[in-house]
Amino acid sequence: MTPTQFTAKTRNLAKSIGLNAQLVQRHFMMDRLVEQISESKYKNDFILKGGFLLGSKYGIDRRTTIDIDTTFRNSKLTKEKLKNIFKELTSKPTKEGIVFSVQEIKETREIDFYPGFQIKLIAHLEKIRVPFKLDVTTGDSIYPEVDIHHHQLMFEDKKVEIPAYPTEQIIAEKLSATFSFGTDNSRLKDYYDLFAIPKLENIDMKELYKSVRNTFTKRGDNKPLSFYYEREIEKIKGSDYLEKLWDKYRSVNSFANSISFADTVNGVAYLMQNVIKIENQERKQ
């Protein structure tokens, strides 16, 4: 693929789905790194999660992201080991001629509680340079079992297989962050996801309850789920700060521009009320 072809294809797609061309270009480059991982000996070690996975499942016209979120399994992960893994993964150009270069690897502890690393990369296609990040966490508690996700490559009639978070775990972690941090949670993409996912996919509420309970407990929140819901929900509903953040989020994400802050909070409440109902039933047994 030449730089001219890359620019034309990504701009045309961006225009057709109402997205910023830079977002589509970044997604294409992340797409190709995921392909590299899926065809390497590390294909079962990296578990896809986060916004990139949601964009893959539902379409980037419904969910965009600026990075790839993963968790690492099967062995202990150190900075040196990760450096060697990515040295191997980026040693050869892709079939399109894209070369990935690692700029920095640093230790992190994200808002989702899990320790890990952030890798800053640049994708090079001749003179074109596209920066992006890949986050790797470790120690994630996952329920139900990890899925094998079939990721559709952009501009190709090809899918690649990669392990991925089950939908219930994605929702559980977002609910945990929402009710742990309350009005201090500035990740409005979580509110969008909690509103949108049940409209795009059927959710098994019993499995979701198990995942939510497991996630809250893993993070030290052992009280009944109703405790966290009742403590935070009215504050969230009445938060001018969160509403302003939401208005900013939807102003730059066309897929969210018709959704009000109240809509998102109602979506959050719907999910939490359902898992609380199941927990209450189990406690009576």
Shared domain for 148 and 81, answered yes or no, is yes
Same domain, 111 and 216: no
Residue finishing a domain among 165, 191, 226:
165
Report the alpha-carbon distance of residue 268 to residue 204 in Å, rounded: 16
* Same domain? 118 vs 157: yes
Q: Nearest to residue 190, comparing CAs of 205, 170, 216, 161?
A: 170
Considering the domain architecture, whether residues 132 and 211 belong to the same structural domain is answered as no
Domain span including residue 62: 3-165
The residue from 165, 189, 215 where one domain ends is 165
Shared domain check, 192 and 154: no
Does 216 lie in the same domain as 130? no
Q: Name the domain count of the chain.
A: 2
How are the residues of the chain apportioned to helix, strand and coil, as percentages rounded to the nearest 5?
A: 55, 20, 30
Q: To which H or E segment does residue 244 belong?
A: helix 240-252
Whether residues 177 and 160 share a domain: the answer is no
pLDDT tens string, the chain, 285 residues long: the values are 899 999 999 999 999 999 999 999 999 999 999 999 999 999 999 999 999 999 999 999 999 999 999 999 988 889 999 999 999 999 999 999 999 999 999 998 655 566 789 999 999 999 999 999 999 998 888 999 999 999 999 999 999 999 999 999 999 999 999 999 999 988 999 999 999 999 999 999 999 999 999 999 998 899 999 999 999 999 999 999 999 999 999 999 989 999 999 999 999 999 999 999 999 999 887
CA angle 5, 6, 9 (to 5 degrees): 80
Among the three residues 142, 165, 188, which one is the final residue of a domain in this structure? 165
* HSE, side-chain direction, 13 A CA sphere, residue 104: 8
pLDDT in tens, 135-184: 999 888 899 999 999 999 999 999 999 999 999 999 999 999 999 999 99
Which residue do the tokens 């992340």 mark? 30
Examine the domain organization and report whether 172 and 161 are in the same domain.
no
Question: Would the pTM count as exceeding 0.85?
Answer: yes
Indicate whether 191 and 119 sit together in one domain.
no
Are residues 253 and 217 both part of a single domain? yes
